[in-house]
Amino acid sequence: MLLMFLMFLVMISWGGSWINAKILVRYAAPDQLIFWRFALTSLTLIPVMIVLKEGFRFRRTGFFAALSGAVLLLVYNFFFFMGLNKGLASVGGVLTTTLIPAATYLINKLINRDGFMGKDIVGLSIGAVGAGFILRIWEMDWYALFHSGNVFFLLAAATWAALTNLSSRVRTILSPIGFNFYLSLFTTIFVFAYMKGDVGSISSFDGIFWLNLFMLAVFATTFGTSVYFLCATKLGSDKASSFVFLVPVSALIFSMVFLGEKVAWSTFVGGGIALCAVYLINKKVKAS
């Protein structure tokens, strides 16, 4: 029950991160924001590692696991921003986060060669219906929805699903907190190298920038991603990713409260359906 409560908090933090990011892009370029986000995340994870007595040393396999995760995280951000550039920005966040549970489930089953549980398939289907309500898919131009640019959102969902599966498999090598730390550290180094050290200055920005950067880096990433990886090791990647259905709901509610955007009745209906999907996927099957 505690893990599920923590996962709800994570989904709230991730939903809010869309609002934080929307405000932050007014100040700096995406690659600069990615650098500062993960640099701040790395710094704030150091005291967490010390307090929890997490070792900073790891085996060679842990190094390659964190390195692989950082590559996946960078690729995810690349696909996401390419999707925003070429696809439908208005539905990108919803489309990506509602595809992640299905992509994670399929990847996990293909890797483990497990059978498909009926309740999980029904739960994923219900989640897809909820996403349809949130997107008001009956009003959308189907050609525009599946326009070539939006393939990047599909690839972003697949990349995050792969990262979720990786995080659930490294628990014997790295702790979830350690994995998140080295993931953030390597991502920071990669972006720094890509930008050839020209990451820009943020010292002159106002309090609104710093508040949103703090929420994005500390609440959504230091806390949110660490707890998500922890739950992925405890609940399994399928169950952990099912909570992602709740991200677009919280994002749209935050948009209504903080950005003044109108939220349609279908959003609340879709959110309720998504909650049902999360409950069904996480419901334990009684032994016969």
Question: pLDDT value at position 150?
Answer: 65
Question: pLDDT value at position 148?
Answer: 56
* Whether 201 contacts 192, CB under 8 Å: no
> Which long-range contacts (C-beta less than 8 Å, at least 24 apart) are formed by 279-284?
280/119, 280/122, 280/123, 280/126, 281/101, 281/119, 281/120, 281/123, 281/124, 281/127, 281/238, 281/239, 281/242, 282/4, 282/235, 282/239, 282/242, 283/119
Report which secondary-structure segment, H or E, holds 10: helix 2-24
Answer whether residue 265 shows pLDDT above 80. Answer: no
Average pLDDT over residues 46-56: 84
Question: pLDDT value at position 45?
Answer: 93
Average pLDDT over residues 57-80: 83
For the whole model, what pTM was predicted? 0.75
**Model pLDDT for residues 203-259, shown as the tens digit of each residue:** 889 999 999 999 989 998 899 888 888 887 777 766 777 777 777 777 777 777 777
Answer whether residue 185 shows pLDDT above 50. Answer: yes
Answer whether residue 36 shows pLDDT above 60. Answer: yes
Gap between the terminal Cα atoms of the chain = 23
